[in-house]
Amino acid sequence: MSDRDQQQAAARRAFESAGAFLRGHFVYTSGRHGADYLEKFRILEEPRATMELAAMIAENFRALAPQLVAGPTTGGIILAYEVARQLGSDAVYAERAERGGRVLRRGFTISPGARVLVVDDVVTTGASVAETRDCIAASGGLVVGIGVLADRTAGRTETDVPFFACFSLDFPSYAPDECPLCEAGVPIAPARGSGKRFAPV
């Protein structure tokens, strides 16, 4: 088994042991259906698992000498802090702007030309990462890499900087009228922590 395969296996074990890798019948926020769901906050509530996965990201980018780690709210806050701690750098957090995109608030600043590593929990469409990159660039930083806990696109995320995912996987999804789970009569799972019947993916 290659080092990368071992890394992927370790990351999968971390997700599974934290109860973050769920199987069932879910309706994603896109309206499409699927059998797999990552409950990312289950990983982030496990300090040991978070430290282990953050270490994978930190080691992958250490040679690029990032001076700052940036993450989008909310899941990116914990991850950015822990990756920054392991790299010995500072962290900043990109918050949603009122008119779209992301901004730095709470007195966060970036030195012109600072080398910034962008991190996030789970990449689904890549929108949060793209918004965070734009925010960092607008604030004067230079994004040198992107690291995530899990990439749901199985490597299809396009980027012009080094990209690393602890765990890469492909979640097939289906239009409601083409869903094999519906056809088989599998009940739709309620969203965790709410009374809604939609998984927040």
Distance of CA 33 to the CA centre of its chain: 20
Mean of pLDDT over the chain: 87
- pLDDT value, residue 136: 95
Computed over its alpha carbons, how large is the radius of gyration of the chain?
17
* pLDDT given for residue 153 in this prediction: 77
Cα–Cα dist 129/181, whole Å: 31
C-alpha to C-alpha distances, 106 to 28, 93, 95, 146, nearest whole angstrom: 33, 9, 10, 23
**Could you tell me if 22 and 188 are in contact, meaning their C-beta atoms sit under 8 angstroms apart?**
no
Predicted local distance difference test score (pLDDT) of residue 179: 95
- For residue 201, is pLDDT > 60? no
83-134 tens-digit pLDDT: 999 999 999 999 988 888 898 898 888 999 999 999 999 887 788 899 999 9
3 contact partners, CB below 8 Å, separation of at least 6 = none
Residues 6+ apart with CB under 8 A from 102: 72, 94, 95, 96, 128, 131, 132, 134, 135
Q: Is the pLDDT of residue 11 over 70?
A: yes
Question: Any idea where the domains of the chain sit in the sequence?
Answer: 3-183
Please say whether the structural domain 3-183 has been given the CATH code 3.90.25.10.
Answer: no
* Averaged pLDDT, 136-160: 88
> How far is it, in rounded angstroms, from Cα 115 to Cα 134?
14
